[in-house]
């Protein structure tokens, strides 16, 4: 995979820029962190070289100044909203985030439950956090938000919210996902800080869209693809163009809310520090791209992957046709089709030939490895073994796992665990391979190739089981699937 992004330059430049922004206020900056603070796999896919934990590493450069506040909406708690990439609810993710931040030496000051209106599930979650020693604050639903500024900036608006006690100059406001109320939390704090005589500041750290790339640059189009379910649209920032005569890219929600934000700033402090939504940002990502073509190519592949994922989501009932239509328009914008993803044709051709599920994987050298369904292995397990053998230089016909070792695992699955499918999944074949590696040199060589699968492209002719999807995710491969199940059952 070609590197298109200078990660070290980014860490240095981004932390310096945030320090500079803190100094412009009374040593108190509320920084809204959009996107994922770590595990940012979207950024790492469209900007090859960007590490998924880059933003976390950048924050560690500021850890002595930084305090984290995690925000979660009571509405999302009530709905048991789930993070699609991890398959866990937002409230569970809050606990995961606290553990992850603290394990890195970052200080988590509190959790704020927003859009609270007495939801019983939110009360239970608050009690659970407090029993674990976590401070919890409540912010309430404000009628007419965000347009009723007179109510918002009153004791019945932001004044009703509990003031979040913070102790450090940089307060990072983050959340499990979008729509959690991060911006409203920041503005509520500015209101309360002003009442206490502190001129605090607000800034936004949103990786995408990248303001200093063109509107239709594939990296920015890939962001639209990633947020197709939110109906986010990239657009030229009209305020920035008017103020500076410079074209900058932002997205519709920030552009639409900026007049309201400006009015709130003026009411709180009689001064707005920003002339445009772009001014609020502190994003230096666009300055660290070192190979534009590599990022363009990677982003086009990401749009295609999002398209296939959405097709599968329609089949399993978690998405609707409108997202598909939007993604088709985005594919047309960047002139990409299935022919631009060679593993699609390779997997589907093999599936048609054998009349059974098949998988294809493209390695870093662009060679295509395939796997078919057999009596011993599922297609995903087969392609995994075939790819590892290819990378290790082991002949295809050489067994790295003895069929005698596979038999007992099949017996365990079918006779003792009640499975109707005797074929090994990817996790089971990796366990068998690791056991074989202790005695067999070829198995050991194959095992050692696992890190080299990161970034490889995979396509499957059917929707995979949750087990196989998770293994591919952990290996760092980029997966797409045909929007069809292996069988015609209604329950999967």
Closest CA to 210 of 311, 286, 295: 286
- What does the alpha-carbon distance between residue 128 and residue 247 come to, in Å, rounded to a whole number? 48
Provide the percentage of residues in the chain whose pLDDT is more than 90. Answer: 72
118-171 residue pLDDT tens:
999 999 999 999 999 999 999 999 999 888 889 998 999 999 999 999 999 999
pLDDT of residue 395 exceeding 60: yes
Q: Are 176 and 34 in contact (CB under 8 A)?
A: no
pLDDT tens-digit readout, 272-291: 999 999 999 999 999 999 99
Region class of 465: left (phi > 0), else alpha (psi between -120 and 50), else beta: beta
> At 268, is the secondary structure helix, strand, or coil?
helix
Whether 61 contacts 11, CB under 8 Å: yes
Separation CA 181–CA 34 (nearest Å): 11
Question: Is pLDDT of 299 > 80?
Answer: yes
How far, in Å, are 194, 276, 358, 424, 482 from residue 488 at the CA level?
A: 62, 53, 17, 21, 15
3-state SS string over 378-441? CHHHHHHHHHHHHHHCCCCCCCCCCHHHHHHHHHHHHHHCCCCCCCECHHHHHHHHHHHCCCCH
More confidently predicted of 438 and 379: 379
Per-residue pLDDT tens digits for 55-90: 888 888 889 999 999 999 999 999 998 886 677 899
pLDDT single digits (tens) 213-265:
999 999 999 999 998 887 889 999 999 999 999 999 998 988 988 888 888 88
- CA nearest 132: which of 156, 153, 170, 102? 102
Give the per-residue pLDDT at 295. Answer: 97
Given a cut of 80, is residue 492 above it in pLDDT? no
Higher pLDDT, 486 or 471: 471
Average pLDDT over residues 185-204: 92
Query: What is the Cα–Cα distance from 394 to 453, expressed in whole angstroms?
Result: 16
Domains and CATH numbers, the chain: 7-288 (3.10.630.10), 341-481 (3.40.140.40)
Sign of CA dihedral 448, 453, 458, 464: positive
At 8-24, the pLDDT tens digits run 999 999 989 988 888 88
**Strands (DSSP E) along 255-363, which ranges?**
358-362
CA end-to-end distance (rounded Å), the chain: 34
Question: What value does the mean pLDDT take over residues 166-181?
Answer: 92
The residue that leads in pLDDT, 265 or 299, is 299
Mean pLDDT on 458-473: 94
């Amino acid at each position: 995979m070609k590197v298109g992004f200078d990660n070290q330059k980014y860490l240095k430049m981004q932390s310096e820029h945030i320090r500079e922004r803190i100094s412009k206020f009374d040593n108190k900056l509320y920084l809204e962190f959009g996107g994922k603070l770590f595990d940012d796999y979207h950024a790492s896919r469209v900007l090859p070289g960007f590490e998924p934990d880059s933003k976390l590493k950048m924050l560690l450069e500021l850890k002595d100044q930084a305090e984290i506040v995690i925000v979660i909406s009571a509405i999302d708690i009530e709905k048991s909203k789930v993070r699609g990439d991890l398959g866990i609810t937002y409230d569970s993710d809050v606990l995961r985030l606290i553990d992850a931040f603290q394990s890195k030496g970052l200080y988590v000051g509190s959790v704020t439950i927003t859009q609270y209106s007495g939801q019983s599930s939110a009360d239970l979650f608050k009690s659970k956090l407090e029993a674990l020693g976590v401070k919890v604050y409540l912010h309430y639903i404000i009628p007419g938000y965000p347009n009723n500024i007179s109510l918002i900036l009153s004791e019945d608006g932001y004044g009703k919210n509990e003031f979040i006690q913070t102790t450090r100059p940089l307060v990072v406001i983050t959340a499990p996902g979008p729509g959690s109320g991060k911006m409203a939390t920041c503005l509520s704090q500015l209101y309360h800080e002003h009442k206490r005589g502190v001129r605090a500041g607000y800034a936004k750290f949103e990786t995408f869209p990248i303001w200093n790339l063109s509107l239709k640059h594939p990296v920015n189009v890939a962001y639209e693809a990633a947020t197709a379910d939110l109906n986010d649209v990239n657009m030229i920032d009209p305020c920035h163009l008017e103020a500076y005569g410079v074209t900058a890219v932002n997205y519709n929600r920030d552009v639409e809310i900026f007049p309201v934000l400006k009015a709130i700033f003026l009411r709180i402090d009689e001064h707005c520090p920003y002339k445009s939504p772009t001014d609020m940002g502190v994003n230096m990502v666009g300055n660290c791209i070192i190979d534009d073509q590599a990022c363009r190519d990677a982003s086009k592949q990401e749009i295609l992957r999002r398209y296939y994922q959405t097709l599968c989501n329609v089949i399993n009932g978690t998405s609707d046709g409108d997202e598909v239509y939007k993604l088709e328009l985005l594919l047309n914008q960047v002139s990409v089709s299935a022919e631009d993803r060679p593993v699609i044709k390779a997997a589907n051709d093999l599936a048609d030939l054998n009349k059974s599920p098949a998988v294809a994987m493209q390695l870093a050298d662009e060679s295509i490895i395939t796997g078919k369904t057999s009596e011993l292995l599922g297609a995903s397990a087969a392609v995994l073994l075939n790819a590892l053998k290819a990378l290790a230089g082991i002949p295809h016909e050489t067994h790295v796992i003895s069929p005698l070792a596979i038999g007992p695992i099949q017996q365990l699955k079918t006779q003792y665990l009640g499975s109707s499918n005797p074929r090994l999944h990817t996790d089971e074949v990796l366990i068998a391979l690791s056991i074989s590696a202790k005695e067999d040199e070829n198995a050991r060589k194959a095992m050692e190739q696992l890190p080299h699968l990161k970034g490889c492209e995979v396509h499957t002719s059917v929707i995979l089981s949750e087990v196989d999807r998770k293994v591919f995710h952990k290996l760092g491969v980029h997966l797409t699937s045909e929007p069809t199940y292996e069988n015609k059952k209604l329950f999967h």
